[in-house]
Structures are given as C-alpha cells and as structure tokens.
C-alpha cells in the first residue's frame, strides 16, 4: 500500500504534519549516493510516525533503512559524514553524524529471541516490506523513500494513527515472541499517543507476559523510564496491570491493594517530568529500603539508586509530619544535611504529591536566608582537630569530627574559636 507523496521539501498530502525541510536537506545527498550505487534509502519509524501527529516535531536524530548490506553502507557514507560509528555493524546498523544530525542507517532486517536467549537473532533482508513487517507496531511500520518521496505503508499504520488504534504488523503472538519488550513498549504507546490496543494484542500480551524474562534488565529499565516520561503514564501503567506485566517489572507496586495502587499511579503525572522523580512518586508506598531494593534490581546506577531512595526517604519523612512542637531549626538542619543536593527536589515532590509540609517549606526558606543551610559540615577539619587535641590521624579524629558535625546540626553555625573551645571541653569530659 502506497499512501501520499513527498515532493521537494514537503509532503503533498495535507494530512501529514511535521517539518521535513531539515531532513530533506540532510538526507537527500545520501539518498543520491545510495541511488547511484543501486540501493534505496528510506526514512523509517518514529520520524515518519510523528509527521502524522499534530504537535509532534522531528528530532535531530532519526532512523533510516536500506537494502544495502552493512559493509556497503559503511563505504557509501565514509566520504559524506562528519563521523561514523561501527559498533552496531554486525547487527546491520551504521551510525552517522552529519552536522547536528545523528542518523542510524540499518540494513533491512528482522530479529527474534529464542525461547531461552536474551540476545536476538538478526537476519538481513533486501525486502522493505519484510523489514516493516518485523517492526513493533503498524504506526512505526511506515517508511518514506528519500529518493522519490513515496510513503510506504503496507500495514495501514497511518489509518491506525487516525483511528487511535494500536496493532502489530503481524500476529501479536509472533511480534511479541520476536521481541517481548514490545509488550512494555505498547504501554508507552497507549499512554503517550493515546492509542487503544486491539483485543488480540491485549490477549496475546497476557499469554506471553512471562516472556519478558528473556529481555535484559537494562532494556526493561530504559523502556520503563520512557513510559514514566510521557505526559501522563497512567493509561500505560493500567495496561501493564491488565496484561500481568507490572507484577514482573515492579512486583511490589503490583501487589499493593487496588486503592493504594491507584493512588500511586495518580501521583506519577503530577511529579516533575524527570523520570526518576516519577519513579520515586510511584514507589513512595514501598518506603526507602524497599524502593531502593527495587531500583537496584532494575540495575540503575548507584547515583540513580541513591536519588530515588533519597527522594522516597525525604518525602516519607515529610509525610510522617513534624516533631512535636513543629519543625525546629535543628530538625530542618538535619533534614538538609541528610538530603544534600536532593533537598529542594524532594520538597518539590512532597508538595506535588500532596504531602502536608506543616510549615517545613517556610522553615527551610528562613534558615537558608540567614545562611544556616550552607556548609553543614564540622567547623574544623581533620588537621585542625589533631592540632587542638594533640592527636595523630586515626579513629579518634573521626570520632571528634562526627561530634563536631552533630554540634553544627544542633547549635547552628559556630566560629572556629567557639568550635575549638567546645571540642576541648567535650574531649576532656568524655
């Protein structure tokens, strides 16, 4: 099925949205090189899909596919690109940078996972339709021939976009078996593009949910972050519950009672657009220890794990309410010390999810205004401690520094002289 055409620098079909001018300027010279060598070059995937969606813009990065084999792609782009990356060549992909644009040019291919393998088996092809058939959804199975501007849409992806339907080009059982991550990706398309999955897709996903176990944890993690980053992920999260996939990705959230899980889902879109903030919002009911464990299980970096765990911990502390008598200066200083650079981020999250801050925001602002939340460490460094107490480096120095830090949090900012006097008195009485 061929729908529409692309003439010069713009689509001739008024139903297509998006600005292809930049793309045309960048890709057309490459297309000519491929044509002269007897090959075709097609824009494919998201950049074509987004051209049909109101409000969606093209990005500096885009994908192309070709009937040329990987080594031929490499040779053809060598003289035209500012940079070439060959890390994906054995999988049929050559990375190219031209000006500010990053391109990935991939030989027509299909890939599938064996029952017990986390690595796909890649098969190259010379047939565009065969390549499109193996893509995740019909809305991504469209390609534009850069040479003549023809839109190739053999699986009616454009019609599905217009109708708000999510389908797979082939039978969903085959598509999800080829790459089980597509079941999680479907959740992102349900939420991000407001597409309704056809019943057959839902039923197949239910039957095959356990197949996600063959997908690497890293791929699952990245797709989860993409879902959480859409404007309102709730429909996608509901889809994961419906097909039984949430219990395999976030089992602690899946086992919450219905009301608590609904509340967790509702918190996600009101958090900032940062995916880690949204993950923290989703995991709030777990508490910092269990939330940190889940994030580690998804193989987030140490820094990312610390961020999510820290956000949950601080928001949890705010939720528990102020100590008797309200937020004292000492309590605020201790919270700021423990939170570090996460303080404002965590307080923003607490406010967003409706936590009763009980005057905490005001207290933080007042102490910050007089410099009381700056440099919350001890007034003396290790060398000064050793000089004052006539110590050599060792555990006693660490003990003294810990006491000075606690003193700073209890009493506020001290001069060096005050700290030396108090330290000497404490050391003598210990």
Q: What is the pLDDT of residues 369-402, one digit of tens each?
A: 999 999 999 999 999 999 999 999 999 999 999 9
Mean pLDDT of 208-222: 95
CA atoms within a 13 Å half-sphere pointing along the CA-CB vector of 193:
27
Q: What percent of the chain is modeled with pLDDT above 90?
A: 75
Whether 105 and 117 have beta carbons less than 8 Å apart is answered as no
pTM of whole model > 0.95? no
Band (279; pLDDT cuts 50, 70, 90): very high
Query: How confident is the model over 145-189, as pLDDT tens digits?
Result: 988 888 999 999 999 999 999 999 999 999 999 899 999 999 999
85-132 pLDDT, tens digit each: 998 888 889 999 988 888 999 999 876 666 666 566 778 888 999 999
Residue 291: is its pLDDT beyond 90?
yes
For the beta sheet containing 150-152, the strands, ordered from the edge strand earlier in sequence to the opposite edge, are 10-11, 2-7, 150-152, 143-145, 41-44, 61-66, 101-107, 93-98, 83-85
DSSP string, 328-395: -HHHHHHHHHHHGGGHHHHHHHHHHTT---TTHHHHHHHHHHTTTTS--S-SS-HHHHHHHHT--SSH
Q: Which of the given ranges, 3-7, 145-149, 251-255, has the highest pLDDT on average? A: 251-255
**The predicted structure's pLDDT at residue 51:** 82
Question: Helix (H, G, I), strand (E, B), or coil: what is residue 275?
Answer: helix
In this prediction, residue 296 has a pLDDT band, given cuts at 50, 70 and 90, of very high
Q: What is the mean pLDDT of the chain?
A: 90
pLDDT at 116: 62
Per-residue pLDDT for 14 more than 60? Answer: no
38: left (phi over 0), alpha (psi -120 to 50) or beta: left
Q: What is the pLDDT of residue 11?
A: 40
pLDDT for res 110: 72
The answer to whether 380 and 397 have CB atoms below 8 angstroms apart is no
**What tens digit of pLDDT does each residue of 56-72 get?**
665 656 899 999 999 99
pLDDT of residue 191 exceeding 70, the answer is yes
Domains of the chain: 1-163 (3.30.460.10), 165-249 (1.10.110.30), 274-376 (no CATH), 382-429 (no CATH)
Q: How many CA atoms lie within 13 A of 243 on its CB side?
A: 32
């Amino acid at each position: 099925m061929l729908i529409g055409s692309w003439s010069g620098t713009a689509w001739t079909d008024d139903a297509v949205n998006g600005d292809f001018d930049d793309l045309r300027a960048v890709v057309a010279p490459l297309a000519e090189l491929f044509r002269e060598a007897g090959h075709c070059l097609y824009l494919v995937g998201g950049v074509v899909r987004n051209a049909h969606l109101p409000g969606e813009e093209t990005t500096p990065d885009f994908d192309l596919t070709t009937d040329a084999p990987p080594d031929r792609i490499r040779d053809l782009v060598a003289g035209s690109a500012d940079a070439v990356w060959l890390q994906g060549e054995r999988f049929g992909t050559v990375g190219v940078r031209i000006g500010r644009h990053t391109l990935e040019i991939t030989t027509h291919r299909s890939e599938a996972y064996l029952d017990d393998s986390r690595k796909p088996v890649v098969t190259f092809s010379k047939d565009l339709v065969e390549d499109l058939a193996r893509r995740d959804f019909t809305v991504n199975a469209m390609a534009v021939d850069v040479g003549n501007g023809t839109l190739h849409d053999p699986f009616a992806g454009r019609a599905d976009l217009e109708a708000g339907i999510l389908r797979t080009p082939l039978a969903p059982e085959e598509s999800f078996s080829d790459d089980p991550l597509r079941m999680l990706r479907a959740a992102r398309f349900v939420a991000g593009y407001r597409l309704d999955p056809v019943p057959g897709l839902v039923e197949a996903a239910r039957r095959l949910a356990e197949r996600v176990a063959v997908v690497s944890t890293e791929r699952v993690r990245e797709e989860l972050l993409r879902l959480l980053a859409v404007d309102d992920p709730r429909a996608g999260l509901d889809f994961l519950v419906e097909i039984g996939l949430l219990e395999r990705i976030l089992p602690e959230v899946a086992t919450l009672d219905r009301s608590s899980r609904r509340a967790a889902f509702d918190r996600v879109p009101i958090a900032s657009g940062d995916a880690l903030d949204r993950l923290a919002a989703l995991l709030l009911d777990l508490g910092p220890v269990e939330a940190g464990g889940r994030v580690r299980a998804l193989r987030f970096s140490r820094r990312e794990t610390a961020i999510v765990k820290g956000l949950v911990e601080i928001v949890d502390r705010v939720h528990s309410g102020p100590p008797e008598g309200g937020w004292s200066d000492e309590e605020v200083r201790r919270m700021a010390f423990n939170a570090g650079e996460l303080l404002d981020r965590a307080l923003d999250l607490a406010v967003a999810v409706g936590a009763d801050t009980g005057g905490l925001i005001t207290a933080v602002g007042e102490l910050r205004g007089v410099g009381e939340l700056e440099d919350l460490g001890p007034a003396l460094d290790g060398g000064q401690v050793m000089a004052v107490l006539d110590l050599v480096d060792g555990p006693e120095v660490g003990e003294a520094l810990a006491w000075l830090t606690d003193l700073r949090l209890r009493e506020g900012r001290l001069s060096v002289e005050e700290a030396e006097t108090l330290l000497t008195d404490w050391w003598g009485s210990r």
